[in-house]
Structure 1
Amino acid sequence: MAGKTVGIEVVPILSRGRHRDPRRGGCFMEYASYLAGVPWSDSPDCTHPLLALIGREVNDEMSDAGRTMLVPLVPAVIGVNPSHPEVVPALVARCARPVVPFVSEQFGAKLVAAVQKAEAVREDLRKPEPTQLSVGYEWEAPLAVAGAIRAITDFRVPTADALLHQILTEAIAEARQWMPAAPLPIETVAVLR
């Protein structure tokens, strides 16, 4: 059975791939949409698209046993949808950098190049007039992230589940840093005056 019945509702069990509804299980991001109360989706609007991709990729690359480690992280992606342009290259660097020591020299060089490009794009975005370097980067970034995450299982990293968990945890922390500060409640502002 893919979901556990609680009263009349079904709580999805984390599993690989896309699912039509929670009764058939759910991936990391589908579970996030369920908890957020938004339409069932593996790419809900309540999470940054690249962070959602990271969640889906990590979910699908983890072992069935290891996937249970992801459950406590699901609520942490809800509402994390920063709009700052630097979040995309920052997430690429966060995902690719820890994978480099575990892959072949040839693939490692590609990941290092992806990290260097991400850092260059971040520097470019800080300029008053960004150059062409950052134009279209949002299309390159998902390929770099997915490639880094999939390499963990492709290269049979012995600690794959732990590394995948680390990457998702760090990606969530990175994305959260780019969220605008929440405004103080009106009562607090009144006291500060």
Structure 2
Amino acid sequence: MDNFLDHMPVLSRGRHRNPKRGACFMELASYLAGERWSDHPACTHPLLAALARLVNDNTADDNRGKLIGLVPSIIGLSGDDLRLDARIALRCATTALPVSAAERQLALAVSVLAAEEMLCRLDGGPAGRLSERSRWAMAQVPHAAEQARRFSKAARITEKGFRRYAAPNAVQLSVVGIVQACIPDPDALLRELLTAAIADCAELVHGRTPARAPATGQAPAARGSSVTGEAPAPAPRPART
């Protein structure tokens, strides 16, 4: 008897017309969920799916297969709760902020504060409250953090604006920051980010946290705006629409 896995699509970059041509992370999710073949399936929250597509497309070919075990866990994580958008954006920004280049730190720090503000509003928490993870991430980039606080005091984001613009921009910028960061294994950090974002969403949707893959350790310290003696980072893959 043929092995079932022999008939599974192979994870690869980009959009595919059918399983015979391969599959991206979300196309494989649609396949396993029994939906119409699509990289935008209904079985997953749109922002989480966007993160999965970005991680898939920006992971090296040799490492993309390590993502396949996460595919089943993303199925069924959907809903209209704005806290999902906020938790995804916050997870992305706090992961990328400590390792991203200086020119990206201000935007990422603003993303952290915007996501925390949205969660405070939705949960009825005190204004200005930050989670322990956010406090740690902001402490790694004190100059950008101070600039972000000044900027955020003068700007107020609406729930509609957060969902349509701020949260998707935070996800996109975070992946770009990780891909271009001077760290030993950006693919591993992208994989950890997606794993953690899935767990955050599962906690909100199902009230439980799926088993996570072992972490590879604390994120490296942030880098400056210029680094000498290192090969340039690969250009990040843009988000698919």
Asked if structure 1 preserves the Cα contact closer than 8 Å seen for 2:44 and 2:78, the reply is: yes
The corresponding residue for 1:124 is 121
In structure 1, stretches of 5+ residues that fail to align are 183-193
Quote how far apart the aligned CAs of 1:126 are. Answer: 3.0
Quote how far apart the aligned CAs of 1:180 are. Answer: 4.5
Within 5 Å, which residues of 2 pair with 1:23-102? 23-102=20-99
CA distance in 2, matches of 1:102, 1:82: 31
Match of 2:168 among 113, 123, 142: 142
**RMSD of Structure 2 on Structure 1 (CA):** 2.2
Quote how far apart the aligned CAs of 1:6 are. Answer: 6.2
SS of alignment partner, residue 163 of structure 2: helix
Quote how far apart the aligned CAs of 1:181 are. Answer: 5.3
Q: Deviations over 1:50-71 (max 9, x none)?
A: 1101110000110111111101
Asked if structure 1 preserves the Cα contact closer than 8 Å seen for 2:82 and 2:163, the reply is: no
Question: Among the aligned pairs, what percent are the same residue?
Answer: 40
Quote how far apart the aligned CAs of 1:150 are. Answer: 1.9
Kindly tell me the number of residue pairs found equivalent between the two proteins: 175
Q: Deviations over 1:93-148 (max 9, x none)?
A: 10111111211223122111101110001112234xxx863232111211210111
Structure 1 position 18 matched with structure 2 position 43: no
Question: Closer, same or farther in 2 for the Cα pair 1:132/1:70, shift >3 Å?
Answer: closer
The corresponding residue for 2:178 is 152
Identify which of structures 1 and 2 has the higher relative contact order when contacts are C-alpha pairs closer than 8 Å and 6+ apart. Answer: 2
Higher strand share: 1
Match of 1:175 among 201, 207, 219: 201
